[in-house]
């Protein structure tokens, strides 16, 4: 492929064109690897990492590992490498992430490392995540706590439940000051590049292509997708039986016409036919919580916002009949622009 096509991937304001990436030749692959390592000039080493991961070339984990394991690299690049290793997944990526725990790194890099272990880790990573959750600085602990629960829920492990918010931690919502928002079923064919997000299996969740739910509130547009494996069972009964990494919520970016994972939906059982339902952002901060009830045929919940930086009062009532969600009208305060998280300041959202 002509060199111009490779650099067109860097010039584009939109997400990567996977058809172009798939047509890159061996010489292009070598050039991208050298860009990631900083050996040849690159307009954006993070973009080169993105190409490396999307292409899925052999040895990608080793190349990203050289950046992450090098204490002389800039912190932002090491953080990007950690995040892209999490997105890459697989045994080789997990090995590099675990090895990097022995190298000196700043808080930003450790936050991304903990998040990447949660995204790509297996039971082999749970001890490392537990240690980070117990001993490190608060941003790292927060990311590691979520990562530990994500891995445990994905692996079917009990005993790693997330903390339940206290009543005083819940944000009150005044209906007279709130605006309505809708959550409605939709189809992939209506959503442009949403299929790319669904096919990535973010955080190891094999997302179902149906049902999907579109969340619309003013200019904000989000997409809610569920774990296809959970939908194979009676979800209303499953909620009271075992913890679940139930789904993911992506936010649409008009700038590059893509969807990026912003929130995760997790549930875990309580006593007496009750269950906990929580929405967390990918940095490990709780966003929404509900103490739901189920009779194994129908489950009911009322999600409300939890106190936290950037969180605004929200309420959303819904029910699950079998494995089908129904949402009543939601209420929320007007959306204000939020401060960018490190994920958005470093690697592209995943």
pLDDT (tens digit, 9 = 90+) per residue, 213-232? 999 998 889 999 999 999 99
Assign domain 3-155 one CATH number from 1.20.1260.10, 1.25.10.10, 1.10.3720.10, 3.40.50.920. Answer: 1.25.10.10
Q: pLDDT confidence of 348, banded at 50, 70, 90?
A: very low
Average of per-residue pLDDT across 254-278: 93
Would you say residue 346 has pLDDT above 90? no
Burial 319-346 (b: 16+ CB within 10 A, else e): bbeebebebeebbbeeeeeeeebbbeeb
Q: pLDDT confidence of 336, banded at 50, 70, 90?
A: low
Kindly report the three-state secondary structure assignment for every residue of the chain: CCHHHHHHHHHCCCCCCHHHHHCCCHHHHHHHHHHHCCCCCCCCHHHHHHHHHHHCCCCHHHHHHHHHCCCCCCHHHHHHHHHHHHHHCCHHHHHHHHHHHHCCCCHHHHHHHHHHHHHHCCHHHHHHHHHHHHHCCHHHHHHHHHHHHHHHHHHCCCCCCCCCCCHHHECCCCCCCCEEEEEEEECHHHCCCHHHHHHCCHHHCCEEEEEEEEEEECCEEEEEEEEHHHHCCCHHHHCCCCCEEEEEEEEEECCCCEEEEEEEEEEEECCCCEEEEEEEECCCCEEEEEEEEECCCEEEEEEEEECCCCCCCEEEEEEEECCEEEECCEEECCCCCCCCCHHHHCCCCC
CA angle (315 as vertex; 162, 258 as ends), nearest 5 = 80
Residue spans per domain, the chain: 3-155, 167-345
Query: Per residue in 96-136, pLDDT tens?
Result: 999 999 999 999 999 999 999 999 999 999 999 999 999 87
> What integer pLDDT is reported at residue 274 of this predicted model?
97
Measure CA of the first residue to CA of the last residue in the chain; give whole Å. Answer: 27
> What integer pLDDT is reported at residue 200 of this predicted model?
86
Which tokens belong to 203? Answer: 């955080």
> What integer pLDDT is reported at residue 343 of this predicted model?
40
Average of per-residue pLDDT across 286-307: 96
Would you say residue 24 has pLDDT above 60? yes
pTM for this predicted structure:
0.89
> What integer pLDDT is reported at residue 196 of this predicted model?
86
> What integer pLDDT is reported at residue 14 of this predicted model?
52
Q: pLDDT confidence of 12, banded at 50, 70, 90?
A: low
Q: What percent of the chain has pLDDT over 70?
A: 90
**Distances, alpha carbon 278 to alpha carbons 6, 97, 109, 269, in Å:** 42, 27, 26, 12
Would you say residue 349 has pLDDT above 60? no
**Distances, alpha carbon 208 to alpha carbons 205, 257, 339, in Å:** 9, 21, 31
Higher pLDDT, 4 or 201: 201
Would you say residue 192 has pLDDT above 70? yes
Higher pLDDT, 9 or 150: 150
**Distances, alpha carbon 306 to alpha carbons 127, 169, 280, in Å:** 28, 6, 10
């Amino acid at each position: 492929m002509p060199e111009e096509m490779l650099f067109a991937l860097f010039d584009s304001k939109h997400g990567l064109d996977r058809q172009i990436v798939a047509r890159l030749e061996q010489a292009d692959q070598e050039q991208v690897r050298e860009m990631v390592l900083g050996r040849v000039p690159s307009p954006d080493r993070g973009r080169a990492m993105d190409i490396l991961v999307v292409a899925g070339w052999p040895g990608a984990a080793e190349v990203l590992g050289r950046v992450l394991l090098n204490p002389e690299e800039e912190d932002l690049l090491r953080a990007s490498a950690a995040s892209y290793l999490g997105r890459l997944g697989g045994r080789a990526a997990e090995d590099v992430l675990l090895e990097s725990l022995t190298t000196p790194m700043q808080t930003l890099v450790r936050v991304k490392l903990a998040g990447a272990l949660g995204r790509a880790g297996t039971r082999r990573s749970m001890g490392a995540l537990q240690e980070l959750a117990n001993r490190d600085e608060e941003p790292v602990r927060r990311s590691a706590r979520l990562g530990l629960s994500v891995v445990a829920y994905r692996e079917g492990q009990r005993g790693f439940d997330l903390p339940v918010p206290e009543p005083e931690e819940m944000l009150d919502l005044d209906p007279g000051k709130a605006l309505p928002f809708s959550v409605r079923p939709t189809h992939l064919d209506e959503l442009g590049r949403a299929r790319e997000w669904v096919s990535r299996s973010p955080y190891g969740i094999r997302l179902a292509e149906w049902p999907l739910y579109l969340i619309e509130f003013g200019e904000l547009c989000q997409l809610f997708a569920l774990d296809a494996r959970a939908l194979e069972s009676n979800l209303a009964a499953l909620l009271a039986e075992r913890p679940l990494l139930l789904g993911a919520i992506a936010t649409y970016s008009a700038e590059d016409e893509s969807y990026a994972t912003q929130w995760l939906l997790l549930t875990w059982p309580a006593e007496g036919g009750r269950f906990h339902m929580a929405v967390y952002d990918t940095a490990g901060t709780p966003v929404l919580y509900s103490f739901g009830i189920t009779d194994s045929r129908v489950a009911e919940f009322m999600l409300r916002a939890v106190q936290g930086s950037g969180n605004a009062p929200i309420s959303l009532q819904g029910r699950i009949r079998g494995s089908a969600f129904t949402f009543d009208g939601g209420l929320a305060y007007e959306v204000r622009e939020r401060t960018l998280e490190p994920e958005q300041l470093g690697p592209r959202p995943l």
